[in-house]
Structure 1
Amino acid sequence: MGSVYRFVLLSAVVAVLSAQSCPGGWYHHATSCYAFIDAEPLGWAEAMFYCSTLHANLVQIESSSENNFLKNHLFAAKTNATYWIGLTDALVEGKYLWQTTQDDVNFVDWAPGEPNDVAHTEDCAALWFGYHYQWNDAFCANRYDFICEREMTERPNIIG
């Protein structure tokens, strides 16, 4: 009877375990979730705002691993679009910072000859299809697809 009682008691206990996950339609890498927004290309500032409505930011690429994850996803998707990232030198020409954190850039993957600030009008960075998704500086009002990034969220898993 004691073992049956323990079984019933254990069955009645609800255990909540913490699991990290990404929202539906987002892709996981390391501790972040990524949404590749390609339904309606936007200018850089509009893309930044759109990401904020998703509780996210334009992607901040901090390592070769993260950069390769993004590039591999775009190659696998067979897209031929350019994607905004959250990098800009709009405040001080030539000094690129991540828009969300204002952090200096520690990892870069500029395409050959980039950034070049053509006609002194290119202040926002993108993964450029024409350069196999290496980075390019572009006119911020150009309408491109974009990548939003957010931290993975805690989601309770209920067992019992």
Structure 2
Amino acid sequence: MNFFLIFIFFTQINVIYQQNILPEHKRRHCKALQTLDIMEYALPMIRRILKEDSEKIRQEYEQVFTSLKGGFLFTCPEGWLYHDDNCYLFTTTKTTWQAARENCLSLNADLAEIINERDSYFVKSELQRIYNQEGVPKYSFYNLGGTDKANEGEWIWIRTGERIRFTNWASGEPNNVGRQEHYLTVGGTRHKWNDINHSGKCRAICQKSVGLRSVP
């Protein structure tokens, strides 16, 4: 509907242009400036509408759980979200980090990794969508696959053992309260990272590669 309104809006401007500006050569410059003023006023609104529609389309697309790429159908199980050739599950049960990982492993997945800005934006967007749902506790934290248990201060992704390079820590984090906070979470009001101890209970984000199926 928003795209239809935008189309009508531009059509009306075009009609005004053809009926008033073209026949009146002497006032062409003035009318053109008026049209530019209208466009300058309308563009922020148009950008907002397009951004909202783009986000809505993205979410609806992810709910289909499929992405077609070069002759293969990339699929995610029902309830999982597709992003960048991976499938993500945002759980609702609060558990310890270790229990969360065991649950992900039982689903042929592991705790999620946020390795770049694209991943961070995806997680932030989904968390905000979850927070906006009626009845959902606001600003919950979710377990991720990062830990510095083996060597304090050296954060790695548990699945690969690779050092964490991209970070999005909240101010003052990681602070290793009581010298026992060795596990990575994301959430809160600004969707930032935090470290927690082995007994802290959070929801979790599981991640696994998409399934592959040849397209006939």
TM-score normalised by L of structure 2: 0.62
Residue 5 of structure 1 corresponds to none
Q: Is the 8 A contact 2:169 2:193 kept in 1?
A: yes
Range with bigger deviation, 121-130 or 40-49: 121-130
- 5+ residue gaps, structure 1: 1-16
Structural mapping, 1:1-160, within 5 Å: 18-38=72-92, 40-78=93-131, 79-130=138-189, 132-157=190-215, 159=216
User: Alpha carbon RMSD of aligned pairs, Å?
Assistant: 1.2
Superposed CA deviations along residues 23-50 of structure 1, whole A, max 9, x for unmatched, are: 1110011111100011x21100110110
Conserved in 1, the CA contact under 8 Å of 2:139 and 2:187? no
* Larger RCO (CA within 8 A; separation ≥ 6): 1
In structure 2, what is the Cα distance between the partners aligned to 1:77 and 1:20? Answer: 25
Q: More helix by proportion, 1 or 2? A: 2
Structure whose alpha-carbon radius of gyration is higher:
2
TM-score between both structures, scaled by the size of structure 1: 0.83
Query: Would you tell me which structure has more strand in proportion to its own residues?
Result: 1
Q: CA deviation at 1:156?
A: 4.1
> d(CA) in 2 for partners of 1:77 and 1:143?
18
Q: Which runs of 5+ in 2 are unaligned?
A: 1-70, 132-137
Residues 127 and 187 in structure 2, CA contact (< 8 A), matched pair in contact too? no
Matched AA of 1:19: L
Contact 2:96 2:201 in 1 (8 A): yes
Q: Which runs of 4+ in 1 moved over 6 A?
A: none
